[in-house]
Chains A and B, each alone.
Chain A
Amino acid sequence: MYQEQADYVYNLAYRLCGSKSDADDVFQDAFIRVYRFLPGFRGDSLRGWLRRIVMNAFHDARHKVRRLIPVEEPAQADLADISDDPGEHLEQKGLDGRLEWALNRLPDEHRSILVLRAIEDLPYEDMAVALDVPVGTVRSRLSRARAALRKLLEENPAPPPKPSAKGPSLMSFLLFFLRPVQLCR
């Protein structure tokens, strides 16, 4: 079970947390709970049960951080991998870095619901169960989350490609000096 589900659990933890270090903690905490409660698991859906455990571990981790670090900004701002570089380092790797950056900037409740909808591909009813909120709340929260994500993406458009930091090439440098010679001939 561990071998089969470890990647699923980690990906969910990572997407919920938005950072590797927090995802590692949630991943560990989630599997501690899995080992503790697995003997009593009688449900039909292992994925659903795991999802709930990861969500609980994620929420507990967030509450713990909020208690320890009283900040005005939402706690996730301290936890997520936020930099002034809106995902450019990821874009360079061919990943959708700007989207990841924007997703990680969202408040927890917006990011969570987007993850459940887009990555977990859950219907509204299952999202309501996972988040322990009414279906109507899921619908409105999802709409607000989409709007917030879109706003972040539009406010941080892809920057124009940077000029090469290496400066003029050696060939252009030589041509520059050869040009007067050619004119003299």
Chain B
Amino acid sequence: MPLNERQQELISGLVDSALQGDELREAQELVAAQPEAARLLEDYRSDLQRLKNLPRMKADPALRARIQPPRPAAPSWLKAAAIVLIVGGFAFWVYKNRPIKKLIALAPAFEARLDPGEHRLVKVFSGLKGKLVAEAVTHFKMMIDGDGQHPAQCHLVLNYDFDGDGKFDRKEIYEVLADATPGLQQVTDDAAKLISVEGAPLRDMADGVLQAEIQNVHPQNAMLADIQEITLPNLSP
């Protein structure tokens, strides 16, 4: 005799030990009285055990790797602070390394006449501090008047003492030619006349000294020379 739905439900509950009181008694009597109920009970118990024994499935390693937990998000204030720090640091770096376009006239009104026989004039600028760019060159502006004598030619020698220890570290020699026309004051502003460099490359000035020297290449002739301006490359004030 087939079991009805309620009887099947009782057997199912019996398998799970979910029956109590009258229902439990009823189920037990049913199993004892009806072979179909006893067989169904055995089948259900067997099915339950087989289901429990099903293998535990595992995710593929590739899938597991794809679903890694996200990194804990940084607090918003920390992000803001990091942004401020980065932007501020970059701005400071740009500021510190900005090219300084300001011309620094180290030799205002440096005028002297080199009469025949006189060879050199020297001017010293001391207490210089600042950053110099190694690849750059020093610019100068000078006036030279050959006073009608020929040849008229001078060398501007710049001696650098970067750290003020009394020893020159670098020497640059510029050649400047004067025009032979009397009274024609030739102003030169061209670093291309650099003819010689000796010693260390330009580096930062720390209480440094610059000695500017005008040498008359042809001392038999008189010459009027004037260093109007010397501009060190990127020398910070």
Contact = CB atoms under 8 A, between A and B. Distances in A.
Given A24-B63, A117-B16, A96 B9 contact: no
Interface stretch (B53-61, B99-107, B109-117, B123-131): B53-61
Tell me whether chain A's interface is mostly helix, strand or loop, or mixed. Answer: helix
Given A2-B69, A124-B16, A139-B18, A150 B54 contact: no
A146 B57 contact: no
A96 B48 CA distance: 13
B164 to A, nearest CB: 63
Interface in A1-54: 1-2, 6-7, 10-11, 14-15, 23-24, 27-28, 31, 35
Interface residues of A, number: 37
A60 to B, nearest CB: 17
A175 interface: no
Interface residues of B, number: 32
B47 A146 contact: yes
B80 interface: no
Interface string A149-176: 1100100000000000000000000000
Contacts of A96: 50, 53-54
Q: Which of A10, A121, A144, A153 has the most CB of B within 10 A?
A: A10
A24 B64 CA distance: 10
A146 B54 contact: no
B166 interface: no
Contacts of A129: none
Interface in B151-209: none
B52 A119 contact: yes
Nearest first, the 8 closest Cβ-Cβ pairs linking A and B are: A118-B51, A143-B12, A10-B59, A143-B9, A14-B57, A11-B57, A2-B69, A31-B67
Given A35-B70, A139-B12, 17 more contacts: A15-B54, A27-B59, A28-B66, A35-B69, A95-B55, A99-B47, A99-B54, A100-B54, A117-B48, A142-B16, A143-B9, A143-B11, A143-B12, A144-B5, A146-B12, A146-B44, A146-B47
